[in-house]
Amino acid sequence: MDDDRLKHSISVARKMVSIAKKYNLTKEEINNCFVIGLNHDIGYEFNKSGESHGKVGGEILKNSGFKYWKEIYYHGLLNPDYKSIYLDILNMADMQIDKYGNDVEYFKRLEDIKSRYGEESNVYKTCYNLVSELKRKEDKYEQRKIN
pLDDT tens digit sequence for 71-94? 999 999 988 899 999 999 999 999
Contact in structure between 35 and 17 (CB atoms under 8 Å): no
CB contact at 8 A, 70 and 84: yes
Q: Would you say how long the chain is, in residues?
A: 147
pLDDT of residue 47: 86
Average pLDDT over residues 42-63: 92
Per-residue confidence band for 147, with pLDDT thresholds at 50, 70 and 90: low
pTM of the model: 0.92
Q: Which residues contact 7 (CB under 8 A, 6 or more apart)?
A: 100, 101
Read off the pLDDT of each residue in 43-71 and give the average, rounded to a whole number: 93
What is the average pLDDT across 111-118? 94
The span from the CA of 138 to the CA of 115, in Å, is 26
CA 111 to chain centre: 17
Report the pLDDT value the prediction gives residue 144, as an integer from 0 to 100. 74
CA-closest candidate to residue 17, choices 3, 2, 37 = 37
The domains of the chain, with CATH numbers, are 3-146 (1.10.3210)
Give CA–CA dist 12/86, Å, rounded.
12
**Does residue 49 have a pLDDT over 90?**
no
Residue 140's pLDDT band, with cuts at 50, 70 and 90, is confident
Q: What is the pLDDT of residue 21?
A: 96
pLDDT value of residue 125: 95
Nearest Cα to Cα of residue 76 among 137, 130, 122, 117? 130
